[in-house]
Each structure stands twice: as C-alpha cells, then as structure tokens.
Structure 1
Amino acid sequence: MLIDLDHFKDINDSWGHDVGDQVLFKVARAIEPMIDDTAMVARMSGDEFMLFFPYAGDDPEQGAANAMATATSIKEAVAQPIFYDGNEFILTASVGIALLSDHETSAERALQYADTAMYEAKRKGRNGIAFFNQSIADKAQRQIGLNARLRKAVDNQEFALYIQPQVDVENGRLMGGEALLRWVNADRVTNMPSEFIPLLESSGLIIDVGHWVIRTACEYIRNFIDEGIWEDHMRLGINISPRQFNDPQLIDVIEHSLRSYEINPAYLNFEVTENLMIEDVESVIKKMAEIKALGAQFSIDDFGIGYSSMIYLKRLPFDWLKIDREFIHNIHHDPESRGVVEAILAVSRQYGLHVTAEGVEDQQSLEILKTVGCDTYQGAHFSMPVSVDRFREYLAA
C-alpha cells in the first residue's frame, strides 16, 4: 500500500522544509494506530509512505475488504487537522493498493503495482483509494507511450487547428468560430483531445503548443482577411487552460502574434473555464485586464457545470458566456434544463454579456434558443469542427 499526501509541496514551498518535516512526523504518528504489529511501514521519499501487510485475508475478496478498511482509516486519520507553530494544516491522501498472492511477484514489482494504483487515485481527483488491476496497468503504459509520442509530435509539427463555426441564432449569419486542437500523427491517426490534452497539461507541453495555437490562429485570420472573406463582426475563439493562463510569456506571445500578422485584437476571443476562478482571483482579474487592454475579448466556457459564482461574472471582465452543452442537449424535453438556460440568459443580460450555446444538435433546440433570446450557437446542427480549408468555404459562401 502506498500513501501519497496530496499537494504537500505547497506546505514546503510556503512554510519551508523544516515545518514540512514536522508535519510529516505528525502524519506518521497519526497513521501508526491504524495498522497492526505485523505490518512494515516506511517513508519512501518526500511525502510518500509505504505499508506492507504480509497477510490481508484468507481469499482475495476478504483481502480487498480488509485493505479498503485499513486504507479508509488511514485516509481519515491523515485528514484530521494538524497544528504546528501556530498554523493549522489540513491534508488529504491518495492511496494505491496492490493485492498479491503468496510468491506471486517480487517486492519491487509489488511496489510498482501499488505506485500505479496510487497515481490512478490521483488521476481521479486525489483524496481517494485505488486498487491495482491489469486495466490500470495497461492504461498507465498507454499514457507513457502517448506522452513520448506527444513530445515527438511537438517537434514534428503534427498538430492542426480545426474550427467549429459559430452562428447567429436569429438569422444564421456566420459569426466566426472556435479553434480546436487536433493531433494527427505520422500514421494519419487522429488522437482524441480527451486523451492527449490532459497529458499536454501534466507534462507542461501545453505551454509551447498553446503558443503555436495563438500564432496559428492569428495567421489564419490574416489569410482570411487577405482573401476578403473575413468580416469585422467575426471572432475566433482560442481556449486557454489555467496552466497556459499562468504562463508569464502569454501576453508577450499574444502581442507578438498580433503585430506579426497585423490583425485587429478584437478578432480574438480567449475562452477560459470556471476552473481558472478557483485560483488567485485578484491575479486572474489583473491579467485578464492586461489582455483586454490589447483589445481582445474573453469568454467564460462551459458555464454552469463547475465552480461558478455570479460574483465572478460581476468582477471579471468577460464579454461572452458559453452555456455548457449538457443543458442545451436536454433543452427541448427537460424543463429544468430550459429553466437553467433562461436563468443564465437573464443574468448575462444583466451584466451585458453575449451568450453562445454549445452542442446544438437539432432544429428544435435552435428554435427554443431563438425564443429565449440566445445570441449565437455552435454544434452539429450547423457543423462539426472542420479543417481550415472547409471553414474557408463557409466564410466564402
């Protein structure tokens, strides 16, 4: 069993390693009563503890139940407030468990299995417990391989920008689109964003790729202008993750791209999710203001499913709000979803925000959006994300 303290690095960074060591000592003391005399306990490194139980039960089912009970007790013990030097520390733990039969594998392999399970617990949001199984191992191996290929993909320029058109709800006029990252590897296999974007984030490669996205989006707009098919009312949405937003070079990259391609900053609409608002809100406001001072716009993406608070709409300088597809998908047969959409539109009007509905798939949903007064929409009803050449055809039509 491996126990890893979530975000423990924050304590070392904020209070120093001496305080961190004292907190670790208190965590170890809290864990001790949760285990019996037969167990072996060791601090592996940093904020990670290893527990070895020579006997967990008479059969796999009993062993799993006993291991879960022990892990739960340990997790609850870790979660108790720790007081040191006038400060209170609240910790959580991610626990990975590997159950092995007699002489099934080496100690090294057992530790590897528990480590894989522990990272699965972290992947699912931390403060959890995960058991090792072959499915988790296969997934971990795929991610390692995918991560290696991603690094080559950056060097080999295997990424492409697709664009999903955004359309005026009332009259069907094309209003621009949202730029979406796609990865087509050397074998012409398209990898799903849900697979590779989290890896770009965790590896830090999202910074370099994000710079490329901004430059490429500006290049596309410049080409559309030169071809006489881009109109002043149009905007191109660019997604910015929290890690990208915190990149010290972000504003310089935006400024340089705007100058290099000589485009109106108002053509760019940076889309951020509600996750950004759980960071330092004052710093977020300051940086958004600096980017808006260039002339660009901001959208709050996937509104309604995260940590949203109406106070964010009041304090942060958004121009657009995007209603999450979950509410749009059910709008024509779920009164509650329609009520949520109408409430979001009412609040948006109060704060002077334009609204885009995501995931519009049929005419019936579009008609309801017309009735309730939504501004623009995107979704399969008009078009899925398309290549830049296909989007060019939409612009020229």
Structure 2
Amino acid sequence: MKFLRKDHQWKIGHLVFGALISFIGILTFFGAAGFFWLQHDLEEKIVQPLLEREVNRVLEGFKSEYLAGGIFIKQMQGLLLESQVTLHGDLLGVARFIEALARRENTEDPRFSYIQFGNNRGEMIAVNLKGDGNLAFYIKDEQHRGGLQQFDMRPDAEGAAPQGMTRDYDPRKRPWYANATAECPQVSSIYFSMGADAQWNASITCPVNRSPEDQGVIAVDLSSGRLQKLLDAAVRQSLVSGVFIVDDNDRVLLESERLSSSDKAFLLEGDSEKPRFSELVVSRLNADHSRMINLHTDSHGKFLIYQQSLSEMGSVAGDMAHFRVLVISSRDELLSVFNSFFWMSWIALALIVFGAYILIRVYRGSITFPLIRLREQAENVAFREVVSSHEFELLYPKGRAIEEIVSVQDAVEKMANSLYSLYQELRDKVDRDEESGLLSLIGAADRLEGAKWEEATVCVVEISNYVQLSDTLNKVALRHLWHSLCTQVSPVWADFPPNRLFRCRYSESRIAIVMLGAPHEHEPMLERLRQKSDLVLGTGAQEEVRVFLCLGVSHCRERSRPAMEKSFANAVLALRQAQLAGGGGFSVFQQSMLEKEERVQALLGAMDSASIEDEFTMVYQPICDLRSGRMHGVEALMRWQSPLFGAVSPAEFIPLAERSERITQLGALALRKVACDVAAMQAAGLLPPGFTAHINVSARQAMNVHFFEQVRDIALAAGLPPGLLTLELTESLLVDDAHHLRAQFRRLADFGFGLCLDDFGTGYSSLSTLHNFNFDCVKLDRSFIVRSTEEGRASAVLPAIVGIARSLKMSCVAEGVETPEQAAVLRAMGCEYVQGYLFARPMGLAPLQAWMADNARADISGG
C-alpha cells in the first residue's frame, strides 16, 4: 500500500479486516440457514437412525441384565446337579439351598426379586426378596398339600407357621413352567408376569434335568427396582424422553420418562394401564407398519414416537412377540446436536465479531489513536502552541500503547520539553520588544484578552524623525534611545493603576498605550504626555538627540478583538492628522478623518499606477535680487496632473510620496527634468550671471548612499556645470550625529553643487550645523516674512537670522514675499534675494523663458 497516503493506510487495514469478518459471517449465516432447508431430510436420513441407535442402547441394559440372569440360572443349575438335594418329594432341602442363595442376593440393590423351583409333579418352592430385608417363602409339596402356602420364614424352621394359602395352585399351568420345556440356552427365554410383589417382572427360566425322576425347573424374576434404575439411567444418558414396555393390550409393564409436567399430562393421561399416547400412536404405527411417527401436529409439543418389538432382543423371537418397546423423544432434543452446531456457529460468529471488535479496539487504542494523538500533538507543536511536559504526559496513558509507540512518545515528549523551553524563551522575546523593553503587540493582545474591561483609550505615540534616526544610528544607539524615552515618560503614568495600563511597541517608530476605563479618567495622563512631546534622548556614549513626539488618540467602547484593532487603526489616523502642518502633534480621532483617509488611499493608488513621466511636471518660480530686481535663479517645484483627480496640490501628494516610497523616483525625475530645462535655457542664452536652480531634496532621497553619484551623473549627462544646481535641504534632515549626511553633502559641495538650508529658523538646527554642512544659502521661512511688518518677536528675530547668515558669508533668500512693505523691510535688513508672488508666480518652462527674456530686456533698458 505504498501508493496510499500514510495517514490512510490504517483505514484501509480496517476496511480489509472488516471485509474478512463480513465474509466469515456470511458463510456462517448461510451454513446455519442450510439446516432449516434440510429439515425434511434430517428426520428420514438422520433422526430415525439416530433414534434407533438410542433405543438399542437403552435396551442393551435389559439385555445385559438378562444375560446376567441367565448366568445366574446356569450357576444354580450346576449347584443343584452337583448337590445331594432331592428335586422331588420333600422340597425343604431345596428351600434351604434357595434361601442361602437368596440371602446372598438380599442386598440394598438385589438383582432378583423372586426365585422358585418346581418339579415335574407340580411341586414347587419360591423365595421372594422383600424390600424390608426379610424373605417370604412359598411352598407346595407332599407335606404342604391343599395349595400354595406362604411363610415368613423357612418352612422347616422351628415355629414356622403358614401365613396364608392359595388353594388349587398348579405351577404347571404357569407360563414359566411351559417355557422350561425347551433346552436351557446361554440366554434363556424371557417373559413378563405379575410377580409375588404385585409388580411386573421380567422372568427367565431354565430346566434342571439331573435324572429323569429328578427333573425340575428353575425360574427367576429380575428385580423390578433394579430394572427401573437401569432404565432410568439409560434414559437420562440418552436422547430419548421416555421408554415404555407394553404388552398386547397396551398395558405398561415398565416405564421410565423425563417429560415436563405439561407433556407428561398430555401423553400419559387416561386409565392407569393404558396411557393416551397408546390410543394416538399405536394404531397409526400398526396401520402403515411404520416404526416412527411425528406428533408435532397432534400436540402442543414436537415429539417423535418409535416402537420396537422385544422379540428382536432374545434368541427365541416368538416368546417376546407380544411385548413392545415404545420410545417417546423430543424432536428438538434429537436435533440438539445440530442445534448446538447451529448455535455454536452463531456463537462462533459472535465470538469472531466480538474478537474483531476487541482487536480493532486494541489496535485503535494501542496503535491508531496514540499515533493520531501524536500526530495532532505534533501539529500543535508545529502550527499552534507548544504544551508543557505535564500537559504532554496527559496526552494519553502509556499503558494503552505498544512499546514501540511508548518509546516514540518518550522521544516526542523529550522533544516537546525542549521545544517548550525554547517556546518559553521565544515567547518572552515575542511578548517583549527587545529595544524598548515594552510589550510587543502580540503580548499586549494576549493580556488584553485576559483582562476585564468595558471601555478603553488607545494612544499611539510616534517619534516624528525616527526614520532618519534609524538610518543613521546603530542598534545599540537605538536601544539606548528607546530606554531613554521610556525612562523620561514613565512619570506620566506613575499614578495610574498598573493592571489597567498596557504599553507596547506598535511599530518601528511607534508605541501604543492602552488605558482601561472611561475616557475622562485618561485625560490627565494624556495632557501630561503632550507636555513631553519635545525631548532630548540619550543614545549612549554621552551622545544625545532631540526628538519630537506626535500623539493620536481613539476610544474603544466594546470589549472585543475587532473593536480593539479598529481603535488602533483609528488612533493611527489621528496620529497622521497630528503630524500634518498645523496639527500640533496631538489629535483625537474624528469620523471625518476616515473620509480623508479614503482620499489618501485613493491618491496612493493613483500614484502607484501613474505614469511618472507624463503626469508629473516641473514649474519654476523666479528668485530675484531684492536691490536690482533682476533674476538670480529659480526654484523648481513639482506638479501632478492626475487623470482621475485633476491637479493635486504638492502639499497633498509630496507627503504621500514620502509614505509610498515614490519620493525617490520623483526626486530623481525632478533632478533630470531640471537639468534638461536648465541646459535648454543655457543653450538659448537666457541664464543671467550667477544663475542657480534650486531643487528640493527629500529625506529618503538624501539617505541613499549613492545620492552624490546620482546627482553628479545627472549633471554631467546634461552637460551642466555643478554651480548651476543648488540642493535645498529641510532642517528635519539634519541631526547632530548625521555623519553619513555630512559626508554626502561635503562631497556635493566639494564637487561644486550649491547647498541651501530651507525653512531656516523653524527647526532645531544649530549654528554648528550651518558650519558643518557648508551651506551657501539659507531660506527664510514664509512664517517670518508674513509677520515681518508686525510688532513683536517675529519682526525682531528676522534681522538676527539675516545677520547670522551674512556673518557666515551665506546669501539669504526670503520666500513668500507678497507685498511691497515686506520687500522694503527685508531690503532694510540686508536680505539679498526674494521669492514670491510680488515678483513672479510659478510657471512652466516656456512661460519662464518668455519672462526671462522680458526681464533681460528690462535690465538692458534700465541699464
């Protein structure tokens, strides 16, 4: 069965075994059914011969006793022939001889009940063995005339007196006397007669011919009690239910039966000498010369009655022709041998089925089920959850499995113990975040399922600039960073019940805080957490970095895993809202955020399927000299014209590009397009002296290790001098230990590319940062320009920023200039270049070239 799957082989084995058992059962069933079809042949070919054999076996008892009687007669005959006793005249001597023999036979179970002797003159003496152990004497001779006299002791004994007399008794008229005329054979003739004890007895006779004048006859009656016991024993040990010896008048001479009370009443009712079965049966047996009839239609029972003549038993058939043996037998009992075989077949079938059931149970209990449970446990180990060694021992009792499976179980148990130890270690690692020491998301979910709560508040906290930090810090520094963060914010939840607060690492840059209870109970802790949004964290070796935290909050009002997962997702949406400009770093989930998120997802899908070369274009906003108004350079700005959404604002798609990893492709596209457009303007002679094109660089773009090579190769491919391109970096890119960025931009500056710090004053850069990155230019953020004409700190800070830039020999570009008053203020401060709607709006390449031509003519006419 190698072509079968291993987990199906045991099932095929069961099917084959079951088919074998079914085949044996069918054979046994049809074999037993065959007995019912052969019943009519059983009676003729099997039952009748069997009954005849049983009857002959019962009658053999009579025959053996008869043989014993014949031997006894022969012994008496020999004793009389050898003795001096006279066989005629006075028979008192014979009486003493017969008494001696009778005394010897008068035991608890005598063979003979009556012994008598008679001569040819009609004289006789008889001895009757009484049941009380005494002897009764009967005598008729010359001294005792008048008839047969009865004595209770030997007639010649002293004091003997007759007890009674039967007058005119002539023994020569008795059947036994007539039978004695024949020569005495080895087994003499037998006849039934009423003995002296008033019972039917089987008598045998033998002549004694010692001399012509002394000839006589010896007659012996077999003991009816002994014959009855012999007959009863024979019937008990046979298949017959009753044996009856009857004469010509159907009178029962001797009987033995073991019928039930109801069957006995049916068969033996009637007068005392002629039972009912004689009337029902004998005539029918004689009519058709049959030896057996079936009475199952004539009675409530099912009987077979069989007859046999006693003449078949002796050597002289005529002597016993008037006596018959009738045998009654239960048909079911005769067939008990076959019934036994039938029931033995069913019992054998039952034993086979039961044995098969036990074998299958043992097979399943000792092999199949243990293997199945081992397989299930192995699957649990492989795919679900490892159990402890104690639980594994309860898998199933070892005593039911065979030794080989027990050894396999022990081996698997050892493996399970090892796996359980490994599982515990892995579980600890899975439940805990290695860097922060907080719970993992899996560990928090398990604990939330075991906690009791109805409402909860979910707060997701993110380190805004973690992407840049993770790209520049090693694992050891990041671990220090997370431990420092947890240490500094731990006082926030110091007074909150520990069993109702769960903190976990939600993602690479985020941690999640789940607070159980009503939302109003969590407001104080959220407020304290907001106050910790600006932190300086240690990264090991006395190095520190500044981080900004953003918080997104949502409420869960249902205790279920789906509801909690939805709350986490809503908190992330709120976090994104908090990270947007003007979000303030904190936001609570509102339903309207889902609509914005749907648009964001739609824009991300459109961006992923967009044709970058066709849908994304570049526009340019001129940068002008504030003193002369002449064009100094341009800032390249990207635009997206989506076929589905139309014109999409850069403020909307640039952050999405950062999230979808498309920013790298868009940055490279911007570099190529700007290089080509600047090369085209240079070829047309439109570029003024000192011209430079400003291109914004994203964080992910700058982190590329091959960023310098990419910018260099694009400029060389376009045939542009490096000085015509200036790369603008936002302050969010700059961290104190950004060694990789410093190396990248140092190489760019050394090659000749310009570097400009965008949105100067809004971030967390220091003066050392300006010096380390060799910036040529700084851009003043529009927020300072808008408030430059107002009274306050903003108007006071702006001159300081311009002064710092001039002291470091860097040019200043003010962006967002829209009014002449703002331009006048900046001119007074010493700002060199401006960019804004007051001078020119962003425009495509062709409009820009026309504008540059007009600007050049204005300079010539003005000059």
Q: Which residue number in structure 2 is paired with residue 200 of structure 1?
A: 657
Q: Which residue number in structure 2 is paired with residue 373 of structure 1?
A: 830
What do the CA deviations read for 1:117-142 (whole angstroms, capped 9, x no partner)? 23422652599765432112222222
Alignment TM-score, normalising by the size of structure 2: 0.39
Q: Which residue number in structure 2 is paired with residue 60 of structure 1?
A: none
Name the amino acid aligned to 2:803: A
2:734 to 274, 277, 289: 277
Cα RMSD of the aligned pairs, angstroms, is: 4.2
Q: Tell me the SS of whatever aligns to 2:774.
A: coil
Q: Which residue number in structure 2 is paired with residue 65 of structure 1?
A: 520
Q: What is the CA distance between 1:293 and its match in structure 2?
A: 2.0
Conserved 8 A contact 2:631-2:688:
no
Quick one: percent identity of the two aligned structures? Answer: 22
Q: Tell me the SS of whatever aligns to 2:670.
A: helix
- More moved, 237-246 vs 106-115: 106-115
Q: Which residue number in structure 1 is paired with residue 575 of structure 2?
A: 121
The residue correspondences of 1:244-323 to structure 2 (distance < 5 A) are 244-278=701-735, 280-323=737-780
- Tell me the distance in 1 between the aligned counterparts of 2:797 and 2:478: 48
Larger Rg computed on CA atoms: 2
Cα 1:238/1:255, change in 2 over 3 Å: same
Q: What is the CA distance between 1:274 and its match in structure 2?
A: 1.6
- Tell me the distance in 2 between the aligned counterparts of 1:183 and 1:284: 29
What do the CA deviations read for 1:14-69 (whole angstroms, capped 9, x no partner)? 1499999999x9999x98984586x696969767668585xx4xxxxxx4312435
Q: What is the CA distance between 1:352 and its match in structure 2?
A: 0.8
- Tell me the distance in 2 between the aligned counterparts of 1:43 and 1:335: 44
Q: Which residue number in structure 2 is paired with residue 227 of structure 1?
A: 684
Q: What is the CA distance between 1:271 and its match in structure 2?
A: 0.8
Conserved 8 A contact 2:626-2:833:
yes
- Tell me the distance in 1 between the aligned counterparts of 2:476 and 2:635: 42
Q: Which residue number in structure 2 is paired with residue 59 of structure 1?
A: none
- Tell me the distance in 1 between the aligned counterparts of 2:476 and 2:543: 12
Q: What is the CA distance between 1:203 and its match in structure 2?
A: 2.1
Cα 1:332/1:203, change in 2 over 3 Å: same
Give the total of aligned pairs.
Answer: 382
Q: Tell me the SS of whatever aligns to 2:633.
A: strand
Q: What is the CA distance between 1:75 and its match in structure 2?
A: 9.1
Cα 1:88/1:215, change in 2 over 3 Å: closer
Q: Which residue number in structure 2 is paired with residue 108 of structure 1?
A: 562
The residue correspondences of 1:320-331 to structure 2 (distance < 5 A) are 320-331=777-788
Name the amino acid aligned to 2:570: T
- Tell me the distance in 2 between the aligned counterparts of 1:356 and 1:192: 23
The yes-or-no answer on 1:167 pairing with 2:628 is no
Name the amino acid aligned to 1:142: R
- More moved, 63-72 vs 203-212: 63-72
2:475 to 14, 24, 27: 14
1:391 to 834, 848, 858: 848
- Tell me the distance in 2 between the aligned counterparts of 1:40 and 1:373: 56
- Tell me the distance in 2 between the aligned counterparts of 1:228 and 1:287: 32
Residue ranges of structure 1 left out of the alignment (5+ in a row): 57-62
Conserved 8 A contact 1:154-1:209:
no
What do the CA deviations read for 1:342-373 (whole angstroms, capped 9, x no partner)? 22222222111111111111112222222222
1:240 to 663, 683, 697: 697
2:641 to 184, 188, 208: 184
The residue correspondences of 1:324-339 to structure 2 (distance < 5 A) are 324-334=781-791, 336-339=793-796
Cα 1:309/1:279, change in 2 over 3 Å: closer
Q: What is the CA distance between 1:89 and its match in structure 2?
A: 12
Cα 1:70/1:360, change in 2 over 3 Å: closer
2:806 to 349, 356, 363: 349
Conserved 8 A contact 1:169-1:366:
yes
Conserved 8 A contact 2:460-2:575:
no
The yes-or-no answer on 1:150 pairing with 2:616 is no
Q: What is the CA distance between 1:323 and its match in structure 2?
A: 1.2
Conserved 8 A contact 1:298-1:317:
yes
- Tell me the distance in 2 between the aligned counterparts of 1:135 and 1:385: 33
Q: What is the CA distance between 1:111 and its match in structure 2?
A: 2.1
- Tell me the distance in 2 between the aligned counterparts of 1:127 and 1:370: 33
- More moved, 247-256 vs 336-345: 336-345
- Tell me the distance in 2 between the aligned counterparts of 1:22 and 1:314: 32
Conserved 8 A contact 1:96-1:115:
no
Looking at both structures, which has the greater relative contact order when contacts are Cα pairs under 8 Å and sequence separation is at least 6?
Answer: 1
- Tell me the distance in 2 between the aligned counterparts of 1:367 and 1:89: 41
Name the amino acid aligned to 2:565: L
Cα 1:74/1:211, change in 2 over 3 Å: closer
Q: What is the CA distance between 1:148 and its match in structure 2?
A: 1.4
The yes-or-no answer on 1:213 pairing with 2:213 is no
What do the CA deviations read for 1:197-255 (whole angstroms, capped 9, x no partner)? 11111222111110110111000001111222123421100011222211123212211
Q: Tell me the SS of whatever aligns to 1:278.
A: coil
Conserved 8 A contact 1:161-1:179:
yes
- More moved, 5-14 vs 160-169: 5-14
Q: What is the CA distance between 1:320 and its match in structure 2?
A: 0.8
Alignment TM-score, normalising by the size of structure 1: 0.80
Conserved 8 A contact 2:616-2:638:
yes
